[in-house]
Amino acid sequence: MDLGELGAFLKSRRDRLAPRAVGLPPGTRRRVPGLRRDEVAELASLSADYYTELEQGRGQCPSEPVLHALARALRLDPDETAHLFHLAGHPTPLGAEPVRMQEALRRLMDRLQDTPAMVITDLHEVVVQNHAAQVLVDHLMGASAEFAGLWRAREVKVRHEEYKRVVNPALGVLKVTCNSIVTADAAQRLLWFVPDDADAVPKLHALDAAEVWHDTPGPAFGLFRSWG
């Protein structure tokens, strides 16, 4: 259970929800981008004080009926609802999330030392990531306001096959395929990126991740949705 992250997630969902989406008038004196706390509380049939405590990461852990009410009030989709339950320490329709990496993925991860790679749950929560992936994420958080904003927005969605482009300071623009291997129980997956240009692979192997991203401008990232 992570009440602090639960509160931050609730606030991020509240901020994005327009009053008209839940049948409320937009008003002219709103000081928040989305709904007010008291409005969410009323929609979920909760007291305003209790909901405020939840957003502030205080109070007792909400029950499953309360979480369902909040999911309905905030118009959460199935992925977001599962994430909400996970943060509150409750099992979700997708099943309880594992807390340890499976041994088969651990062994494969050990062989990917020169490739940014991470093991994630079916909700894309990171179980473990290698050094190259950590270097990349840390750099992006500090160097790219766009990346940091997206990371802190806490958008939750199960990802499928994707194509991305990465501006690498040493190699220029790289077009990569986002790959994943899912375990038999579909509870975890290994996520990694492979350049579409085979000629770039040996060049990547020769790079040192810490040196490449040290004191460089923030790389530009773009997302290509699945083809076809």
Is 51 part of a structural domain of the chain?
Answer: yes
For 154, left (φ over 0), alpha (ψ -120 to 50), or beta? left
Q: Same domain, yes or no, for 51 and 149?
A: no
Q: Same domain, yes or no, for 59 and 144?
A: no
Q: Terminal CA-to-CA distance of the chain, rounded, Å?
A: 39
Is 118 part of a structural domain of the chain?
Answer: yes
Round to whole Å and give the CA distance between 15 and 9. Answer: 10
Is 214 part of a structural domain of the chain?
Answer: yes
Strand partners, 107: none
Report whether 221 contacts 146 (CB < 8 A).
yes
Which long-range contacts link 39-45 to residues 24+ away (Cβ below 8 Å)? 40/10, 40/14, 40/70, 40/73, 40/74, 43/72, 43/73, 44/69, 44/70, 44/72, 44/73, 45/69
Q: Same domain, yes or no, for 126 and 219?
A: yes
Is 161 part of a structural domain of the chain?
Answer: yes
Q: Same domain, yes or no, for 65 and 25?
A: yes
∠ CA 28-32-36 to the nearest 5 degrees?
Answer: 95
Q: Same domain, yes or no, for 80 and 107?
A: no
Is 48 part of a structural domain of the chain?
Answer: yes
Structure confidence at residue 95 (pLDDT): 41
Q: Same domain, yes or no, for 14 and 118?
A: no
Q: Name the pTM for this structure.
A: 0.47
Is 96 part of a structural domain of the chain?
Answer: no
Residue at a domain's end among 28, 57, 87: 87
Q: Which residue type sits at 42?
A: E
Report whether 123 contacts 102 (CB < 8 A).
no
Is 93 part of a structural domain of the chain?
Answer: no
CATH code of the domain covering residue 127: 3.30.450
pLDDT in tens, 125-179: 777 788 888 887 888 888 888 888 887 887 766 655 577 777 777 777 878 777 7
Range of the domain at 17: 3-87
- Given a cut of 50, the residues of the chain with pLDDT beneath it are 94-99, 218-228
Give the contacts of 114 (CB within 8 A, at least 6 positions apart): 132, 204, 205
Structure confidence at residue 10 (pLDDT): 92
Structure confidence at residue 158 (pLDDT): 61
- The distance of Cα 29 from the centroid of its chain, to the nearest Å, equals 32
Structure tokens at 117: 């790679």
Q: How many domains does the chain have?
A: 2
